[in-house]
Amino acid sequence: MYFALRYAEQFEDVEAIAIRVRFTGLNERRLTSITGQRMMMDYRISRTDEVLLETTASLVQLRDNMVEVIHSLLIPLYEVFNFFPLSQALVEEELERMKQGRF
């Protein structure tokens, strides 16, 4: 999303960008932490094979409220894992780690 924002800012006429992300092969997958830094319970299993996430955000929204935009976008993905409650704080922490190159 940061790359899309930086790219869009190169063009004068761009006021917003459309974001579309498709996750496939989710059926029977478990929600887990790859790094082990987060405690995840094994009962968060997807019964849905595919999730399509879409939103449109202005460049101002992305600059000023990136966490909120990404949080809203990701909620449907996490809901397929037994309605895992994705907190905005988790999204903020992960975005900070990504910006610092620690992901």
pTM: 0.84
Domain count, the chain: 1
Nearest 5°: phi and psi at 55? -160, 165
What tens-digit pLDDT sequence spans the chain (103 residues)?
889 999 999 999 999 999 999 999 999 998 887 666 766 666 789 999 999 999 999 999 999 999 999 999 999 999 999 888 999 999 999 899 888 875 5
Record the tokens describing residue 67, joined without a space. 């966490």
DSSP 3-state assignment of 49? coil
Q: Which of 55, 52, 47 is nearest to 31 (CA)?
A: 47
Q: Which residues contact 91 (CB under 8 A, 6 or more apart)?
A: 67, 70, 71, 74
What distances in angstroms separate CA 87 from CA 51, 52, 71, 72, 75, one per listed residue?
19, 20, 8, 10, 9
- Note down the domain range covering 60: 2-99
